[in-house]
Amino acid sequence: MNDAMTDTLSETGGELLAGQPLRVVERDGVRYTLLGTAHVSAASVQAVEQAIGSGQYDAVAVELDPQRLQALTNPDALAQLDLIEVIRKNRIALFAANLALAAYQRRLAEQLGIEPGAELKRAVTLAQEHGLPVHLIDRDVGLTFRRASQRLGFFGKLKLVAGLGAGLFSSEDVGEDEIEKLKQGDMLESSFGEFASESPELYESIIGERDRYMATRLREERSDGQRNVLAVVGAGHLAGLARYLETDTEAPDLLRQELESVPKKRNIPWITLTILAVVLAGIGVGFWKGGMDMGAHMLAIWALYTGGLAGIGALLAGSHPLSILTAIVVAPFKPFRLSIPTGAFSALVETRLRRPAYADFLQLRDDAQTLKGWYRNRVTRIVLTFMLTNIGSMLGLWLTGFTVYGKLV
C-alpha cells in the first residue's frame, strides 16, 4: 500500500480549490481528493463546480445516501410514501425524525437563501453531465438513527425526542453561532442541537461511524478505471474520513456490513413490566381480599386511566372521533401486546379515515415548521396522533401503577 496525505493544494491543481478545506489520500493506486464543504455555503457550490469542471477527476463521491439524494432531487418523493406501510412496520418515529431534519433544512434555506446540501446536489448533477460515475458513500439515515437510538438509555432517548421536537416546532431563525458550527460540522449533528455534542454515544453514531463508513465505501467502490476520485463531504468529516481511509486494513465489504448492522437487542421494557406487575398484582389482591367489588374497582381504575389518557392524547392531536375511540378501547389491553404501541392502532384508523391527499405531501415541509401546520396537514396530524396517544397511554400506565400501589400499601 502506498499511502500519502496532505493539506496542501500543490498536487491537486494549484489554485483550483484555494481556500477550501482539503485532504488528499493516495491508496492502492487511487488518489482521493477529499473536498470539505459547508452545507450552507455558496462558495462550496462554486468549489464543486470548479473541481468537476477541471476534468481532473474520473469519478465523484458525495456524502449522500439514496434516500437523501431523492429528497434533494425529487421534491415529490414524499407524495409516493405509503403511510399505512410506515405505521405497520413501526417506522413512524423514523418518519417524524426525517420531518424534523427537513423542517430544520427548510428554516436554513429560507434564512440563508441557499438550500442545505446544494453543493452535494450540484456535484451529482455535474458528474452526470460530464459522464462521470457517482458514488453515494454515506450510510442510510434510517440506519444511523436506529444505531444511535440503540446506544442511548431511557433518558437519553427522551432527550433525543426532545431535541427532535424542538427542531420540528421551532420557527425561530437559526442563530449565528449554530450556523458557524454548521459550516464546520454536519447537518445531522446540527439538527439534534447541543445534545449531539453532549452525548458521546450519539456523536459516535452520527459522526465517528459515518467517517469510517464513508472511507469504507470509497475503498469498496474502487475500480481499475478510476485513478483520481473527488469526494465531496461536509468539513466536519474531513479529518476522520482521511484518517480511516489511510489506516483501515479490514476488508471493506465486511466492515461495511458491520457498520450497517443493527444488532437485535432483547428490548425488555423492565419499567413497563414492573408497573404492569404491580397493577396486575393489585387487581389480583383486590379480588382475593376485597371480593368482586374491590377487584372490579381496580380494573375500572386501569381502564379509566390508560384508556382515558390515551383518548385525551388522541383528542389533543385533533384526531377523528373513531381514532379517539380506538385509543380508548385498545390502551387497556397493553399487557397482551407489549411490542405494539397503542398509537399505532389509532394512527392506522386516522390514516384510513383521513387519508392524506397529494397536496398534504406537497405542503409537508412547509407545514412541519409550525404547530398550526401540523394540525392542518393530514400527514403530520397522523404523526401527532401516534405520538400523543402513546404519551397518554404511558402516563395512564404510570398513574395506574402509583394508584394501585398506594391502595396496596
Instruction: Check: CB of residue 174 under 8 Å from CB of residue 167.
Output: no
Rounded Cα–Cα distance for residues 313 and 84 (Å): 20
* Those residues with Cβ within 8 angstroms of residue 199's Cβ, 6 or more apart along the chain or in another chain: 152, 156, 159
pLDDT at 176: 54
* Those residues with Cβ within 8 angstroms of residue 292's Cβ, 6 or more apart along the chain or in another chain: none
pLDDT at 9: 39
Q: How do the domains of the chain map onto residue ranges?
A: 4-260, 270-408
Please name the residue ranges forming H helices in 317-341. 321-330
* Closest CA relative to residue 370, chosen from 172, 173, 169: 169
Q: What is the CA radius of gyration of the chain?
A: 25
| pLDDT tens-place values along the chain, 409 residues long | 444 444 433 344 445 565 678 899 999 889 999 998 877 777 888 889 999 998 899 999 999 988 888 877 776 666 666 777 777 777 777 777 677 666 666 666 667 666 777 888 899 999 999 999 999 999 987 788 778 777 776 666 666 666 666 555 555 555 555 555 555 555 555 555 554 555 666 667 667 788 999 999 999 987 767 889 999 998 888 888 999 999 999 999 999 999 988 777 655 556 666 666 766 676 676 666 666 666 677 778 888 999 999 999 999 999 999 999 999 999 988 766 667 889 999 999 999 999 888 778 777 777 877 778 889 999 889 989 998 999 999 898 888 877 776 766 6
Q: Which residue has the cell 389518557?
A: 309
Instruction: Check: CB of residue 198 under 8 Å from CB of residue 206.
Output: no
Please indicate, yes or no, whether the overall pTM of this predicted structure exceeds 0.85. Answer: no
